[in-house]
Amino acid sequence: MLGSEPEVLIDIQDLWKRYGKHEVLKGLNLQIYKGETLVILGRSGVGKSVLLRQIIGIEKPDKGAVLIEGKNIATLPGAKRDRMLRRMGMLFQGAALFDSLTVGQNVGFYLTQNPDPLTGKWVDKNALKERVGEALSTVGLVEVGDKMPSELSGGMRKRAGLARLVLYRPEILLYDEPTTGLDPVTAMQINNMINSIQAKLKATSIVVTHDIKSALSVGDRFAFHHEGKILFVGNREQFLSSKDPLVQAFLHEAALTEEQLTR
């Protein structure tokens, strides 16, 4: 739970990013508190995935900064930056599993290539097997560890992606559209997993989604991304009762779409 004085873990300051002539982020400001789940909402193409890539330092801003515990992720020297990045994990939009590896090998892959970020030590074969089993059980996939990704349904692939993420116990979790393309029951399973992973890892999470139901089942706070800036940020009550016409239009449209989908 959030105390009365939330601690800012990630501070995004006046972030600008363009591709050619296309200005995507236009002076975006946003603070993410330690221990919360912040949901980022916004229309398709507004720059939500671009923002996530800036936060995990895959891309650098043209101007402005992403500060994590006060340190600028883009300008930290190599080793310090790597250490910071290892504390973060992202579930990409398409789950991005390696097709030639089994599900279990996919889940354990990181720790076959890197030492455990928490201890700095390499994990031996037996311990790794145990870690993979534990991660698979967190997402209810123990029985499919030996299968190939092509044998899994879309929802199972997302869960395998989640298992791969929890394996190295990141403190900062980023989810890009974790429920898109899933049926409502599977989507709700993923939402529950996002919540249980958050509690288990005592993590801070950022969830980008179009799915208003998903947003409301995982979010502590809600940020509305519009035309390169965060137009609104607030808790659930403030979000649902926002008088901002763009937020209202978004909520209205989302509700309509949900209704149409479940009809």
In the complex, the residues that contact ligand ATP under the rule CB under 6 A are: 19, 24, 42, 44-50
**What region, left, alpha or beta, does residue 159 occupy, with left being phi > 0 and alpha being psi -120 to 50 degrees?**
alpha
Closest to ligand ATP by CB, 45 or 120: 45
**What region, left, alpha or beta, does residue 183 occupy, with left being phi > 0 and alpha being psi -120 to 50 degrees?**
beta
CB of 261 to ligand ATP, least distance (A): 17
Contact criterion met (CB below 8 Å) for 210 and 195: no
Query: Can you list the alpha helix ranges (DSSP code H) found in the chain?
Result: 48-55, 78-85, 103-113, 125-138, 154-166, 184-201, 212-218, 236-240, 245-262
Binding mask 18-57 for Mg ion (x = CB under 5 A): -------------------------------x--------
Q: Quote the Cα angle for 223-228-232, to 5°.
A: 25
CB of 22 to Mg ion, least distance (A): 15
Closest to ligand ATP by CB, 59 or 134: 59
- Cα separation of the two ends of the chain: 36
CB of 253 to ligand ATP, least distance (A): 14
Q: How far apart are CA 171 and CA 165, in angstroms?
A: 11
Closest to ligand ATP by CB, 129 or 210: 210
Q: How many residues bind Mg ion (CB under 5 A)?
A: 1
Closest to ligand ATP by CB, 102 or 180: 180
206 binds, among Mg ion, ligand ATP, none (CB under 5 to 8 A by kind): none
44 binds, among ligand ATP, Mg ion, none (CB under 5 to 8 A by kind): ligand ATP
Q: Encode 48-77: b = buried (16+ Cβ within 10 Å), e = exposed.
A: bebbbbbbbbeeebeebbbbbeeebbeebe
Contact criterion met (CB below 8 Å) for 156 and 128: no
Closest to ligand ATP by CB, 49 or 102: 49
CB of 37 to Mg ion, least distance (A): 18
Question: How many residues are listed for the chain in this entry?
Answer: 263
CB of 142 to ligand ATP, least distance (A): 31
180 binds Mg ion (CB under 5 A): no
CB of 77 to Mg ion, least distance (A): 30
Closest to Mg ion by CB, 55 or 141: 55
233 binds, among Mg ion, ligand ATP, none (CB under 5 to 8 A by kind): none
Pair type for strands 22-33 and 8-19: antiparallel
Phi first, then psi: give them for residue 85, nearest 5 degrees. Answer: -65, -30
Q: Which residues bind Mg ion (CB under 5 A)?
A: 49
